[in-house]
Structure 1
Amino acid sequence: MTVIVDAPRIEHHREPLGIGERMPRLSWTVASAPSGWRQDAYRVELERGGATTSHEVQSPEQVLVDWPGDPLSSRDIVTVRIAVRGADGAWSEASAPTTLEAGLLEPSDWVARPIGSIRNENAHSDQRRPSIVRREFEAQGGLVRARLYATAHGLYEAELNGERVGDDTLSPGWTVYGQRLRYYTYDVTDSVRPGTNAIGAWLGDGWYRGRLGWRGGFRNLYGADQSFLGQLELTYADGSREIIGTDHSWTSAASPILHSGIYDGEDYDAREEHRGWSSPGFDEAGWEGVQERHRDPATLVSPTAPPVRCTEELRPVEVLTGPSGSRILDFGQNLVGRVRIRVSGPAGATVTLRTAEVMQDGEIYTRPLRDARSADNYTLAGRDVEEWEPRFTFHGFRYVEVAGWPGDLDADAAAGALIARVYHTDLERTGWFDSSDPALNRLHENVRWGMRGNFVDIPTDCPQRDERVGWTGDIQVFGPTASTLYDVSGMLSGWLHDLAIEQLPDGTVPWYVPVIPADRMWTPIRPGAAWGDVATLLPWTLYERFGDTGVLRAQFDSARRWVDLLARLAGPSRLWNTGFQLGDWLDPAAPPQDPADARTDRYLVATAYFAKSARTVARMAEVLGLDEERVHYDALAAEVVAAFAAEYVNADGTMTSDAQTAYALGLRFDLITDPHRRDAAASRLAQLVRDAGNRIATGFVGTPLVSDALSAGGHIDTAYDLLLERECPSWLYQVEQGATTVWERWDSLMPDGTVNPGTMTSFNHYALGAVADWMHRVVAGLAPDAPGYRRIRFAPRPGGGLTSASARHLTPYGEAAITWRIEDGALHVEVTVPVGTEAVLDFVGVDEESVGPGIHSRTVRFSQ
């Protein structure tokens, strides 16, 4: 068999255009190789500026290896190929090429300045009308390359010669704008023509100056201006470069968008369109000049992740009529995105789209949205057919109430006229799961849909109400599941950069990132267990799942400062038992309006996380070769573990908080070290689950841990009983109630069909869906056993009456897979091990076995 190498990957980029790394790391997979083949060297061929260099390295590594050539300069274009050599000394053919292109790496590269309307913008008006900006320019013949580098104070969509530039939306996304503003790079070579051209941009408030925060919110959090910054660079065959940048020569006009907001939707009057405004030859009569704004070019950064895009379209599955006579579309899936309409009607008629996740009493139910208007209005121009979709907003919804529609809106008409377009960060999917239980498969899909809807540029908590912020605790507990389902490496490492910026000087990690003002509960920022521990645990998760030591290096100081803060707060006792804590947030026993009132002592939770984070920082230091720090944090962790055991673990293995979350923490964080007490604690946890009728009794903290605590503690049957329970509260209760995403509360929809009375009731949260990672690792049996899946553990633990299960995962080395079925008293297993890795086969009743790359089948005796 011939050794075949796939095209290399550049850092964590899906599309390495306009990258910001000067020395980007390289990864590749070996698509096929002879049995027993192992890489012992690789060769990197770099073609840059017409010259090719070759770099041979003696190493078996193939994931995030160091850049072997000279550092990149701005605009550099390099074609990369990889060849590999086995122990036999034979080199493979070079891989297919990957071409990367550097962005603008020096502040001096930027000549453009942010520009916006000179019209008076009332900083406090709810009706600040967005603008559009434009300019015409001349291009010469002999163009070989054209790039647009673009960003905004607010949101933008660029157009060139009457056509949309790119397919991204909500750009440049949400970062800590004062320190980091992303720009995107677009290849527009095919759109520029010799002679006169026109370029322009739509503008929206977005997160920059739009309304943010709950209970009314705040405006202008990052600035009052709405500005576009664009730099179009034209490179000709003779090597010359021409730059058309945003400056005072551009013009502006009021947009047909009358109002736009993340929470509130968009109002658009098609009668006020400027037809042909982004094409050459447009009559600018009545347009105004622009005002230049300031932007430090040193704060402009290129993305580390894909942008937000439309990834799917859904048609309505039913048209309902409410008791009021309202017409309501059911799209069959709780999703995040916008509705595109195709409509014909008289000029001045207005179509209104109101969204909601649920219905009650036959009508859309908007109370869970709180102060989010979540409605779009389109006023028709009177053309034969008009097509429209909002630009600068997004909604979380399943149902859409349509008012003002010209003509009858029956099912046939709606199917072609109103399309739900699904938007989220365009991450590559990496994980799949299937089983013999359709309800379990639906739960997995609910988790995946919930993740998609909440990965809208940042990892949000909910996509529908007046909030949608990057809660640190949610992604801390969900990080392993997110890393299983999608390649989140670039997105979350970029978000962690913002977290380090927002971290307070004393080490406090905010409740959410980026930070915005909030009510008294969240102000001033205070340290909180499980939420602040994202600074240590999420980088470690990314290292474990993607083999990225770079994220540990980048985040080590942030992680260390967090643990040092906890050490000061706990003092010599090593017990973090003071201050404000959320504890096991949303324990199902907590009152609707007091979700922190959990059964587990909140200070037990805090001290447990202190121990976990201290130990994790020690492990980070070990990987990074920081011996002094490793010794220090190992010693600190040992002190905290001893203090925890003395304070919260009884001599018989029971705990002072006799609750599921307490035992899950003690067991999964290795805080109960005595083997007899561990066995007793695991048995007590299993008994608590049985006593609760196999219903969930954990919140955000305990839910990701309880299944592992049971299965690893010898109680796999109880873990399955918990997973497959259908009474409230349970995972499958939500499925039985028709959920298509994971809810914020176990009973967001009550058994009587009414919505939970709490003011914090979302039907699209991902935190409680963290069990999906356990489903992959334990039910299907596919788990990393070394960072980046360099070693894979196949350890299925069938139960719960399941007769089959399977999982696939795109590891950094290629696809790993497992399929098992129970038949005639035997467990039949087939696994796929990618080249470059090794695997452990770990089946109940037989000795572990190590295997190499390839497909392996085994049959072992099994009885349920």
Structure 2
Amino acid sequence: MISTTLRIEQPSGDGFVMTPAPPLTWTTSAETGGWMQASAEIECDGSIRAHVNGRASVLVPWPFPPLSPRETSRVRVRVFGVDGSSSDWSEPVDVVGGFLEEGDWTAHAIALPAPDDVAQPGLARTEFSITKEIRRATLYATALGAYQVAINGVDVDDQVLKPGWTSYSHRLVHETTDVTSLVLHGSNAIGIRFAGAWATESYGPPSRQQRVYADQPHVAAQLVLEFADGDESRVITDSTWRTATGAVQASGIYLGERFDARREHPGFALAGFDDSDWRPAAVVGEAREPEARRSPAVRRIEEIAVCDVLQSPSGRIVVDFGQNLVGRLRIRVKGPRGTTVMLRHAEVLEDGELAVRPLRNAAATDTYILRGENEESWEPEFTFHGFRYAEISGWPGDFDPDAVTAIVIHSDMERTGWFGCSDPLITRLHENAVWSMRGNFLSLPTDCPQRDERLGWTGDIQVFAPTAASLFDVRGFLASWLRDLTLEQQAAEGIVPFVVPNVLSSPVPAAAWGDAATVVPWVLYERYDDRALLADQFASASAWLDVIARRAGPDHLWSGDFQFGDWLDPTAPPENAGEGATNPDIVATAYLFRSAQIASRMAAIVGRTTDAERFEELAESVKRAFVDEYVTPAGRMMSDSQTAYALALQFDLAPEDRRQIMAARLAELVRENGYRIGTGFVGTPVIQDALTGGGKMREAARLLMQTENPSWLYAVSMGATTTWERWDSLRPDGSVNPGGMTSFNHYAFGAIADWLHRVVGGLAPAEAGYRVMRIAPTPLPGIDHAFVEHTTPYGRARVDWRRAGQTIIVVATVPPNTTAQVELPDGQRATVGSGKHRWSAAAPSEPEREPISLASSLAELIDQPSAYHALRDSLDEVEPGLAEEICAHTRWLRGRTVAELLGEGRRASARDGLERRLDALRGESVA
């Protein structure tokens, strides 16, 4: 039995396509193993047919005449296999043009005529009449700010904070909504609620924040009415609309929202409402023509109940939701008119109170003033917060935790990737990365969701893009953001700003941040086979390479410029996150090579042969210069740091004759550091690949499973439910890191999740879009089983593995129309087609180790976890906290003995206890 499911690539997800020629993707289900498509037939409107020869089924170009605005077509597909099989026609999919033709935007931008304050939220309304039979009503709307439209008292959709944040100086987007069911024969009304949101926010360093886009929000909308007789009319925003301030007295992304229910205008979006005391709208001017939004909408995704109610030392009510999340609260409350309830948000507690210092200038406070009628329900509309805890003050009567719910909001992306394993801490680490992505993929990829920042930092998404694509379908989301990157880059003469949209100072080029112009499009190609996006973004990638190649000059070394370096390396001081162990010039030149290599590959795919050769030559020149400058003939890096070796190995900058030496040195550095992480934003995403790629599985396992600070699992062991910005955002004593930049929801270090999928779970694309996938699980020491599952463009794929004695059992599911290259832990190799497969492989053996004594080296001790824990227990027996004080600053060297570590002072007092414990371990080993 063969069946086919057609998907029209419409990232907006609202029933419309935002391009006249949307690509088509279909997946096939087949009971026959090894099924491969020979051809496909696509039908449009029951008559026009197109044929596709071969395997193509992902992002297939639209084979019919381009759509017109609001044109509806019905499309279906059927497939034929190389084995002679065929499917029935798929269920038809309606395709509706949600875009506008150039010049078809006629609405005016309107605002409050005399706002009470800057960034004043407001209401706008108008009425219209329909006397003929309506065939279709389509609403196009946008805002410099955020808005919602209601027709005849009903909101037109379930989106929030629309149209989201784009580079407002260069690009506005509009929503397209079918509102036919909301318009009535006779009198109708349209009401718009709006606020400033991102458009009127102040940005910049805490002491120098300023507005970038506007002092006041404005909105624009046009309702296109199509009648059964073929006529058409429009209702557009203009000076005839009436405006007023409403119950939302103040609103800001950082501020929060103040809502006075006594000032509501119930029924303002209904016909017949008395707006005689409202004022005519101020026409701001012809709204810049917006383009159709292509990224997924922001929506309410999940509701979370209070899991605990606490009383702070100051006597305040604090509710705990058990999960650091992004969104806002919905409350149900009853009390006297004028009662004021305040909701203040924070990610963590410190000394039992909300830790608000990390919020900096963000008030993160919502205020509700009761109207005093029966039970009232309220949720702020034009703001969001990052929080796990909320402090509630002014609650009338006894507080009921069931009356407060956390509403999780983010861009409505499809979840596509899952991972789990036998170690619950690692599984939780993966879940933390998921939650941090959810919280920071709200309209655009941000750095953090809680403080007075929440910006689209290019470096953060550059390192996280592979993980993002492993977890969710981010093609439309990141393609939209890349469009803004290109526009901002054009305005900066090829330089990619630190943040997109750019609301900071004039851009200067910075490695790893600006390289988002090459890396992010390449990731989308690798994961989705999106060649059209590569073509769209090639000019951006090329412009970035031209900028940084000029900075490097004829010696091909990018040096001497400002760089973020290996940002937030744990050795960097709290107030200088870029002052880490790795020379920033090494980072810069490594990324120059990587971007040149990617640009060459992009050019080759999009048919730009000359550019492909030019960038390949640049890459080779940079590699030679890098090796000559930074790698000694003996295989040592000039920065003898984890990040330096990891970059050289993973970016293919290590000379072939020195790769194993450099991999061994990386492993030695990890051991010397006590298997604690020593990397920042740049090194963290690649260090585990560098270790496992160099055959250092045991070192990778110890680094992954470390729970001491700094490590991935340290935060998990401290109760984190999201990924932290700093390795020690929360100190072991429960205090918040003293740095002025501390977030508990920051996805960069969560980039480890992609490695968990590809290497530990063992599922990765071997060709673009998973057309060919790689199945190569890595049973790391200490992990007994793992699984990874991913919804590829061809369908669901999955790998499970488990230990059974000295055998590894691997079970994999490969979707139809794909193949898989299989490499098992014992070296077995195979190529298989679709279906479910099972293999057995010999488990990797663990080397026997000599018992540890005081004469053993520190390297030998740290390599045996039981002996290391015996040392810690012995030190803490002498004095609580002594173990961390000593172990965190010890280099675990081969040339230094345990006895030397415990040579004098308080340390010497631990010798007897350690000898006793080591003797017990030797006895256990003999037994």
Using the size of structure 2 for normalisation, the TM-score is 0.89
2:497 equivalent to 1:502: no
Name the amino acid aligned to 1:483: A
Please give the per-residue CA displacement for 1:495-536, whole angstroms capped at 9, x wherever unaligned: 01110111155421100000113xxxxx33211000011111
- What is the aligned counterpart of 2:567 among 585, 588, 595? 585
2:800 equivalent to 1:819: yes
Please give the per-residue CA displacement for 1:305-338, whole angstroms capped at 9, x wherever unaligned: 2111110000110000011110000000000000
2:392 equivalent to 1:402: yes
2:432 equivalent to 1:442: no
State the partner residue of 1:525.
Answer: 507
Pairing of 1:82-121 with structure 2 (within 5 A): 82-89=77-84, 91-120=86-115
SS in 2 for 1:419: strand
In 2, are the aligned partners of 1:11 and 1:27 still within 8 Å (CA)? no
State the partner residue of 2:124.
Answer: 133
In 1, are the aligned partners of 2:107 and 2:287 still within 8 Å (CA)? no
Name the amino acid aligned to 2:460: D
* Distance (whole Å) between structure 1 residues aligned to residue 349 and residue 645 of structure 2: 38
Quickly say closer, same or farther: Cα 1:231–1:174, change in 2 above 3 A: same
Name the amino acid aligned to 1:472: T
* Distance (whole Å) between structure 2 residues aligned to residue 337 and residue 576 of structure 1: 41
SS in 2 for 1:401: strand
Please give the per-residue CA displacement for 1:456-514, whole angstroms capped at 9, x wherever unaligned: 10100000000000000000000000000001111101101110111155421100000
Please give the per-residue CA displacement for 1:228-248, whole angstroms capped at 9, x wherever unaligned: 211112222223222211122
Larger-Rg structure:
2
In 2, are the aligned partners of 1:304 and 1:490 still within 8 Å (CA)? yes
Pairing of 1:287-302 with structure 2 (within 5 A): 287-297=278-288, 299-302=289-292
SS in 2 for 1:400: strand
Tell me by how many angstroms 1:89 deviates. 4.9
Name the amino acid aligned to 2:40: Y
In 1, are the aligned partners of 2:813 and 2:835 still within 8 Å (CA)? yes
State the partner residue of 1:837.
Answer: 818
Name the amino acid aligned to 2:90: S
In 1, are the aligned partners of 2:331 and 2:404 still within 8 Å (CA)? yes
* Distance (whole Å) between structure 2 residues aligned to residue 24 and residue 95 of structure 1: 18
Tell me by how many angstroms 1:218 deviates. 4.4
- What is the aligned counterpart of 1:212 among 196, 203, 207? 203
* Distance (whole Å) between structure 2 residues aligned to residue 3 and residue 221 of structure 1: 55
Quickly say closer, same or farther: Cα 1:229–1:401, change in 2 above 3 A: same
State the partner residue of 1:729.
Answer: 710
State the partner residue of 1:467.
Answer: 453
2:177 equivalent to 1:195: no
State the partner residue of 1:520.
Answer: none
State the partner residue of 1:21.
Answer: 19
Tell me by how many angstroms 1:56 deviates. 1.4
Quickly say closer, same or farther: Cα 1:248–1:23, change in 2 above 3 A: same
2:444 equivalent to 1:458: yes
Greater Cα offset, 87-96 or 526-535: 87-96
In 2, are the aligned partners of 1:747 and 1:756 still within 8 Å (CA)? yes
- List alignment gaps of at least 5 residues for structure 2: 846-927
Name the amino acid aligned to 2:819: E
Tell me by how many angstroms 1:617 deviates. 0.5
Name the amino acid aligned to 2:82: A
* Distance (whole Å) between structure 1 residues aligned to residue 494 and residue 571 of structure 2: 32
* Distance (whole Å) between structure 1 residues aligned to residue 256 and residue 420 of structure 2: 37
SS in 1 for 2:395: coil
In 1, are the aligned partners of 2:202 and 2:210 still within 8 Å (CA)? yes
Please give the per-residue CA displacement for 1:94-138, whole angstroms capped at 9, x wherever unaligned: 11112121123213322221112212465xx4xx53110011111
In 1, are the aligned partners of 2:6 and 2:76 still within 8 Å (CA)? yes
SS in 2 for 1:22: coil
* Distance (whole Å) between structure 2 residues aligned to residue 531 and residue 340 of structure 1: 37
Name the amino acid aligned to 2:693: A
- What is the aligned counterpart of 1:706 among 657, 680, 687? 687
Tell me by how many angstroms 1:12 deviates. 4.1
* Distance (whole Å) between structure 2 residues aligned to residue 713 and residue 643 of structure 1: 23
Tell me by how many angstroms 1:33 deviates. 4.9
State the partner residue of 2:649.
Answer: 667
Name the amino acid aligned to 2:710: P
State the partner residue of 2:165.
Answer: 174
- What is the aligned counterpart of 2:265 among 271, 274, 280? 274
In 1, are the aligned partners of 2:19 and 2:99 still within 8 Å (CA)? no
In 2, are the aligned partners of 1:583 and 1:601 still within 8 Å (CA)? yes
Tell me by how many angstroms 1:35 deviates. 2.7
2:479 equivalent to 1:493: yes
Tell me by how many angstroms 1:694 deviates. 0.6
State the partner residue of 1:10.
Answer: 9
Name the amino acid aligned to 2:684: T
State the partner residue of 2:32.
Answer: 34
Name the amino acid aligned to 1:552: L
In 2, are the aligned partners of 1:724 and 1:800 still within 8 Å (CA)? no
* Distance (whole Å) between structure 1 residues aligned to residue 296 and residue 589 of structure 2: 37
The count of aligned residue pairs is 844
State the partner residue of 2:916.
Answer: none
* Distance (whole Å) between structure 1 residues aligned to residue 665 and residue 198 of structure 2: 48
Tell me by how many angstroms 1:821 deviates. 0.9
* Distance (whole Å) between structure 2 residues aligned to residue 60 and residue 94 of structure 1: 17
2:601 equivalent to 1:619: yes
* Distance (whole Å) between structure 1 residues aligned to residue 218 and residue 301 of structure 2: 28
Tell me by how many angstroms 1:690 deviates. 0.7
Tell me by how many angstroms 1:141 deviates. 4.9
Name the amino acid aligned to 2:436: G
Q: Percent identity?
A: 47
Name the amino acid aligned to 2:226: T
* Distance (whole Å) between structure 2 residues aligned to residue 342 and residue 741 of structure 1: 28
2:232 equivalent to 1:241: yes
State the partner residue of 2:222.
Answer: 231
State the partner residue of 1:513.
Answer: 500
In 1, are the aligned partners of 2:134 and 2:226 still within 8 Å (CA)? yes
State the partner residue of 2:66.
Answer: 71
Tell me by how many angstroms 1:154 deviates. 1.0
- What is the aligned counterpart of 1:165 among 148, 156, 160? 156
- What is the aligned counterpart of 2:53 among 54, 58, 76? 58
SS in 2 for 1:688: helix
In 1, are the aligned partners of 2:120 and 2:196 still within 8 Å (CA)? no
- What is the aligned counterpart of 2:779 among 792, 798, 804? 798
* Distance (whole Å) between structure 1 residues aligned to residue 211 and residue 827 of structure 2: 63
Tell me by how many angstroms 1:179 deviates. 2.2
In 1, are the aligned partners of 2:220 and 2:287 still within 8 Å (CA)? no
Pairing of 1:608-647 with structure 2 (within 5 A): 608-647=590-629
- What is the aligned counterpart of 1:599 among 574, 577, 581? 581
SS in 2 for 1:726: coil
* Distance (whole Å) between structure 2 residues aligned to residue 657 and residue 278 of structure 1: 65
2:307 equivalent to 1:314: no
SS in 1 for 2:736: coil
* Distance (whole Å) between structure 1 residues aligned to residue 78 and residue 427 of structure 2: 40
Tell me by how many angstroms 1:370 deviates. 0.2
Name the amino acid aligned to 2:416: T
State the partner residue of 1:419.
Answer: 405
In 1, are the aligned partners of 2:763 and 2:799 still within 8 Å (CA)? yes
Please give the per-residue CA displacement for 1:165-191, whole angstroms capped at 9, x wherever unaligned: 211111111111232111111122222
* Distance (whole Å) between structure 1 residues aligned to residue 510 and residue 123 of structure 2: 43
* Distance (whole Å) between structure 1 residues aligned to residue 149 and residue 493 of structure 2: 42
State the partner residue of 2:877.
Answer: none
Tell me by how many angstroms 1:341 deviates. 0.5
Tell me by how many angstroms 1:25 deviates. 1.0
- What is the aligned counterpart of 1:739 among 717, 720, 723? 720
Please give the per-residue CA displacement for 1:235-270, whole angstroms capped at 9, x wherever unaligned: 222232222111222111111111000000000100
Greater Cα offset, 219-228 or 481-490: 219-228
